[in-house]
A and B are shown apart, each in its own frame.
Chain A
């Protein structure tokens, strides 16, 4: 079992970062900022002055750059968790399909078509 714990989590599944303790620690400030967006007044404050709002949460330079660039993969690499990042994406007017397209290098119609293409098992069993 000790061996299992020693396995590097991040190299297991291609294209996937497991949000473990190391990522949660690295991303704490960024996720704290995103959590604050549950309140409309905070979303408005971010829109008004993004840099000042990032200062308030003491984001790392890497996190600031990723926020400024709307770089979703960069935000994940910097410890962002998708559940919290979704609130930031909402401020940008992006839904999860827009975010999916951005991360996979597809256009949004391509990403949606890819999802539809996986529907080989369909229908209802009563």
Chain B
């Protein structure tokens, strides 16, 4: 039987990619953020995951407004990154796990989550940067990928409650998978930030603290806000907390231990956070 090892959560700010390319990890601006990762790497080294199920949001690389799925599950043998238009390096490809992807899709639809199925799917910095942070300088990613994209671009967005339930359904799908793989769940994005409007630069440490403090033991607390309330508290891009909430759901109902937490303001325009949760 496969095993869910735990969850890795991190911000995915594009400029982190620039800092990695420049080797700025020890620079005073960047160090407090990168200091969150030795614990992540040590945890992954101990746990040796083979597959990553990743909840993230596309930023206009794969999905355009012509067809915008609320929930999309990748079912490809390989996923590629590509030019996103503003100078990030093109990151290395990911090996897929299409057998598990199709199992998750079958199970989700059976559980009445009518997801979009993607046999071709470009994946953007929201996926590549968390991998670069977790496994720096490896020639090829040591895990295979099942990507699950949540729409955080075009309102109406799915509610936080629905995202937590999606994660729960993914958890049940994984637990019914007959494979033997060691699986890590990843949620990327956030925390509070706003890029657009006169309110650009908005950050809310109190709301971030609330999310971090309730993620493990009481994720329902994060689902009581409407999307509009989440935007008010976390900023227009702070809604990426939906990826964290879904990933938390995919860890299931068991008691969790916070193996590490790092929180730092600011990375670019963003309050950045990195967390590991594992079964207690």
Q: How far is the CB of B38 from chain A (nearest CB, A)?
A: 11
Complex Cα distance, B194 from A76, in Å, reads: 13
B35 contacts chain A at the CB level, 8 A cutoff: yes
Q: Is the CB of B86 within 8 A of A24?
A: no
Contacting B195 at CB < 8 Å: which of A20, A99, A126? A99
Complex Cα distance, B258 from A24, in Å, reads: 39
Q: Is the CB of B196 within 8 A of A103?
A: yes
Residues of chain A with a CB closer than 8 A to B203's CB: 115, 118
Contact with A along B155-169 (1 / 0, CB 8 A): 110000000000000
Residues of chain A with a CB closer than 8 A to B136's CB: none
Contacting B197 at CB < 8 Å: which of A12, A73, A122? A73
Q: Please, how many residues of chain A have a CB less than 8 angstroms from a CB on the other chain?
A: 54
A61 contacts chain B at the CB level, 8 A cutoff: no
Complex Cα distance, B210 from A121, in Å, reads: 12
The A/B interface has a contact count, at CB < 8 Å, of 153
Residues of chain B with a CB closer than 8 A to A73's CB: 197-198
Contact with A along B1-28 (1 / 0, CB 8 A): 0000000000000010000000000000
Interface of A is mostly: helix
B residues 119-158 in Cβ contact with A at 8 Å: 153-156
Complex Cα distance, B67 from A28, in Å, reads: 12
Q: How far is the CB of A12 from chain B (nearest CB, A)?
A: 6
A95 contacts chain B at the CB level, 8 A cutoff: yes
Q: Is the CB of A100 within 8 A of B87?
A: no
Q: Given that A96-B269, A97-B269 are known contacts, is A83 also in contact with B85, CB under 8 Å in the complex?
A: no
Q: Is the CB of B261 within 8 A of A18?
A: no
Choose, from B56-64, B102-110, B216-224, B242-250, the stretch at the interface.
B56-64
Residues of chain B with a CB closer than 8 A to A104's CB: 198, 200-201
Complex Cα distance, B67 from A24, in Å, reads: 12
Q: Is the CB of A96 within 8 A of B268?
A: yes
Residues of chain A with a CB closer than 8 A to B261's CB: 124-126
Contacting B60 at CB < 8 Å: which of A43, A83, A120, A123? A83
B228 contacts chain A at the CB level, 8 A cutoff: yes
Residues of chain B with a CB closer than 8 A to A66's CB: none
Q: Is the CB of A38 within 8 A of B85?
A: yes
B278 contacts chain A at the CB level, 8 A cutoff: no
A residues 106-126 in Cβ contact with B at 8 Å: 111, 114-116, 118-126
Complex Cα distance, B15 from A17, in Å, reads: 24
Contact with B along A71-101 (1 / 0, CB 8 A): 0010010000111111101100001110110
Q: Is the CB of A82 within 8 A of B199?
A: no
A14 contacts chain B at the CB level, 8 A cutoff: yes
Q: Is the CB of B64 within 8 A of A100?
A: no
Residues of chain A with a CB closer than 8 A to B82's CB: 38
Q: Is the CB of A116 within 8 A of B266?
A: yes
A residues 27-67 in Cβ contact with B at 8 Å: 28, 31-32, 34-35, 37-40, 43
Q: For A72, give the chain B residue with the smallest CB separation.
A: B196
Q: Given that A115-B201, A121-B263 are known contacts, is A39 also in contact with B268, CB under 8 Å in the complex?
A: no
Residues of chain B with a CB closer than 8 A to A100's CB: 195, 200-201, 269
List 5 A-B residue pairs with CB atoms under 8 Å apart, sorted by A's residue number. A32-B64, A34-B85, A84-B60, A87-B85, A116-B265
Assuming A39-B83, A40-B83, A121-B265, what are 15 further A-B pairs, CB within 8 angstroms?
A9-B155, A13-B228, A38-B83, A38-B84, A82-B196, A82-B237, A87-B84, A103-B197, A116-B265, A118-B205, A120-B205, A122-B263, A124-B35, A124-B262, A124-B263
